[in-house]
Amino acid sequence: MQPEDIVRSGPNQFISQKGIYHELDSLISSSFQAPAVVTGHHSYDAFSAYTKLPSHWPVVQHKGYSSPNAISHIAEELKGADVIIGIGGGTILDTAKSVADALEIEVIMVPTIPGTCAASTPLSVIYDDKGNFMRVDYHKRSSYLTLIDHTFLLSSPLSYLQSGIGDTLAKWYEAEAIIRNAKDSLPLMVHAALKQAVYVRDILLSHSKEAVHSLQTGQLSQAFADVTDTIITLAGTVGGYGGRYGRMAGAHAIHNGLTFIEETHHVLHGQKVAYGILVQLAAESRMSEVEELLELYETLGLPRNMRELGITTQLDEAAKTVASHAARADETFCLIGDYSIEQIVDAIQVIENVSAS
């Protein structure tokens, strides 16, 4: 049995509550004797301005990608810890999970942005040191504890909320396509994953605009709390229930292909995935859904074409680079059908044309 075939519903424990980050020390000290923190530079500064970590906890501030070299280096530095606390965005949390897995200890997730579901999934996306996609690693453990503090997250940069919405919207479009194209009868939990994906999609379509307004005005709302909880935790249950049928398909394959274009390295994960949804739908000739999403993307500030991803020259070459990766037999586009490089290039061109009209 492969790791992606094992049903895992989410974190071992989950707390979503205003101000909960102030209680991090008390939540951990009763169960662990030697915590260690993996964080980023910006995320550590933001977290330290909001609340303080105990001075005796070792802290590693990582700048870069969740790469094998970084993971092994940090794991060596934090030998002797009995729990890893990841404080940061998706890359930091994926790194922290991999470090904990290497040390065979528990991991606690403290997201500082509502950008991905990394805080609630038992996997890490692995890149090389230059930021090119390598693989997805599945871990032995789900997080021991995942926390969400809406008050803290309300100070997130807007781009990360936009990215989180884009990444999470893909849960429905990818899971639905995988399940629709599956040739075999599927387990009950896969169908449960699809139902959860519908719920996730409906929350985002109904409340994302208000959630963005809440962040822009600094006024906490139920819509903001619901959308951030959906991005960080509910989204993870789709893949947790559905496994290979609920994690990644065409949209993420396009994202992975985009990582090989240097101009997109500054673009956040979920923004590239959001663009990937459009390409996947165009490849499937589902243009009415493309039109609906283009209107939403314009409202939310999500990228609708390659230029909005930062690719302004050699567009044909960029499209072929992305499609050549996405069409590989070991990529996830093949989970929704047999698409050639030329068909994916054509889908990219369709999106370029329709988004410019």
Q: What is the CATH number of the domain that holds 64?
A: 3.40.50.1970
**Structure tokens, 331:** 């990529």
Please state the rounded mean pLDDT for residues 245-256: 92
Q: What is the dihedral of CA 92, 97, 100, 105, to 10 degrees?
A: 130
- Regarding whether 19 and 147 lie in a shared domain, the answer is yes
Tell me the per-residue pLDDT of 60-70, one tens digit each, with 9 for 90 and over. Answer: 999 999 999 99
80: left (phi over 0), alpha (psi -120 to 50) or beta: left
Boundary-marking domain end, from 153, 187, 208: 153
Query: Residue 92: what residue type?
Result: I
User: Is 252 labeled as ligand-binding?
Assistant: yes
Regarding whether 131 and 256 lie in a shared domain, the answer is no
**Residue 91 annotated as lining a ligand binding site:** yes
Q: Are residues 17 and 148 in the same domain?
A: yes
- DSSP single-letter state for residue 220: -
C-beta separation of 147 from 156 below 8 A: no
Residue 207 falls in the annotated catalytic set: no
Residues 6+ away with beta carbon under 8 Å from 321 = 257, 260, 261
Residue 266, annotated ligand binder?
no
Token look-up 């997130």 returns: 156
State whether 143 and 270 are in the same domain: no
- Identify any residues that bridge with 38 across adjacent strands, giving them in sequence order: 60, 86
Question: Is 242 a member of any domain?
Answer: no
Instruction: Please indicate, yes or no, whether residues 267 and 131 belong to a single structural domain of this protein.
Output: no
Does the annotation list 90 as a binding residue? yes
Per-residue confidence (pLDDT) for residue 8, from 0 to 100: 82
48 domain-assigned: yes
Query: Among residues 153, 187, 204, which one ends one of the domains?
Result: 153
Q: Are 271 and 303 in contact (CB under 8 A)?
A: yes
The C-alpha atoms of residue 198 and residue 176 are separated, in whole angstroms, by 9
> Is there a domain that residue 148 lies in?
yes
Work out the pLDDT band at 182, boundaries 50, 70, 90.
confident
In this structure, the answer to whether residues 143 and 255 fall within a common structural domain is no
Alpha carbon dihedral 50, 54, 56, 61, in 10-degree steps, equals -20
Residue 14 counted as domain residue: yes
- Examine the domain organization and report whether 7 and 144 are in the same domain: yes
**CA-to-CA distance for 197 and 174, rounded, in angstroms?**
9
Give yes or no: 73 in active site.
no
269 is in an annotated binding site: yes
Domain membership of residue 329 as a residue range: 248-357
Residues 255 and 145 in one domain: no
Set 137, 167, 226, 229: catalytic member: 167
At 39, give phi and psi (nearest 5°).
-145, 175
What burial letters (b/e) apply to 258-292, b meaning 16+ CB within 10 Å?
Answer: bbbbeebeebbbbbbbbbbbbbbbbbbeeeeebee
Residue pair 58/79 in contact (Cβ under 8 Å)? The answer is: no
Q: What is the pTM of this model?
A: 0.90
50-106 pLDDT, tens digit each: 999 999 999 999 999 999 999 999 999 999 999 999 999 999 999 999 999 999 999
Question: What are the tens digits of pLDDT across the range 8-45?
Answer: 888 999 999 999 999 999 999 989 999 999 999 999 99
The question of whether 167 is a catalytic residue gets the answer yes
300 within domain boundaries: yes
Count of the separate structural domains present in the chain: 2
Identify whether 114 is part of a domain: yes
Q: Which residues of 143-167 are buried (b: 16+ CB within 10 A; e: fewer)?
A: bbbbbbbbebbbebeeebbbbbbbb
Residue 167 in marked binding region = yes
139 noted as active-site residue? no
Query: Is residue 197 a part of any domain in this protein?
Result: no
Q: Which of 133, 153, 173 is the last residue of a domain?
A: 153
Question: What CATH number is associated with residue 286?
Answer: 1.20.1090.10
User: Of 139, 207, 269, 325, which residue is the catalytic one?
Assistant: 269
The CA distance from 342 to 319, in Å, is 10
Is 121 labelled as part of a ligand binding site?
Answer: yes
